[in-house]
Amino acid sequence: MLLHFYKYHGTGNDFILIDNRQDNFPKNDTKLIHNLCDRHYGIGADGLILLERDHSVDFRMVYYNADGKPGSMCGNGGRCLVAFAKFLDIISDQATFKANGDKYNAEIEADIISLTMCDVGEVETHDNHWFVNTGSPHHIEIVEDLDNFDVIGHGKKLRYEVYGEAGSNINFVSAESSNIFKVRTYERGVEDETQSCGTGVTAVALAMHHAGKANSKNIKVKTLGGDLNVQFDGDASGYFNIKLKGPAVQVFKGYLEC
């Protein structure tokens, strides 16, 4: 099989994107997807995303983690797929797509993609952390000296020992000001630290606002790969009109014989 692929990244969170509107990609081949995402023997990526037809919206997003298994929602991946859809002339400056049965809207302005995320009804507060599901599960914990923190060691421990085999993404956070936060994320499915995580950035912004550590509903979150903004509305029922904003960039394209 000759595979035509594109490589995109959203603040360093990188993905293999494939136009699968002809439905010819072997979606059940976990080993193939894992090998394609391998950084030494494949293309290299945090995940693989298929763009597919959906007659009710502009397109459908099908996401796989780097381990080759189907994943939950990916915010940066969704933003990259919107940029890819524009590159393919499927959309112009707005998009509506489905992912895991949910509907998402997005807007494009230059290279900035604004993705409207699912509403969040609850931010769970625990003794030393918060838990938020923003389409993917996220543990959020404030730590000292984030730059030198052992994200992989502590992240892996929490991912398995606290959340079991199903796991959770683990986010370690420090505040730069009342509305600017730094985050480093250990992602399940990748089983490593990633440069950025869109659903994680969203979860961090909501958790910090819920905890009273942010006084604005427009929050900047700094990741290893760059800055993202999260804007939202909220009341006693939860958070809504949540928008994740940031760049999405095509890195290269190519063919691979599989």
What is the model's pLDDT at position 258?
79
List the domain boundaries for the chain: 2-117+248-257, 124-244
| Active-site option among 37, 80, 118, 197 | 197
Terminal C-alpha separation, the chain? 5
Q: What confidence tens digit (pLDDT) does each residue in 18-39 have?
A: 999 999 999 999 999 999 999 9
**Cβ atoms of 64 and 70 closer than 8 Å:** yes
Question: Which has the closest alpha carbon to 48: 11, 12, 24, 74?
Answer: 74
Instruction: Give the mean model confidence (pLDDT) for residues 227-245.
Output: 96
CA–CA distance from 114 to each of 170, 242, 253 (Å)? Answer: 24, 10, 24
| Active-site option among 74, 80, 118, 258 | 74
Distance CA 95, CA 85 (A): 9
CA–CA distance from 204 to each of 17, 54, 84, 120, 230 (Å)? Answer: 26, 31, 27, 12, 9
What is the model's pLDDT at position 245?
98
Question: Which has the closest alpha carbon to 82: 255, 194, 244?
Answer: 244
What is the model's pLDDT at position 256?
87
Asked if the domains at 2-117+248-257 and 124-244 fall in one CATH topology, the answer is yes
Instruction: Give the mean model confidence (pLDDT) for residues 202-212.
Output: 97
Does residue 197 carry a catalytic annotation? yes
Structure tokens at 206: 């909501």
What is the model's pLDDT at position 7?
98
Q: What confidence tens digit (pLDDT) does each residue in 77-131 have?
A: 999 999 999 999 999 999 999 999 999 999 999 889 999 999 999 999 999 999 9
What is the model's pLDDT at position 236?
83
**Domain 2-117+248-257: homologous superfamily in CATH:** Diaminopimelate Epimerase; Chain A, domain 1 (3.10.310.10)
Look up the CATH number of domain 124-244.
Answer: 3.10.310.10
Please tell me the pTM assigned to this model. 0.96
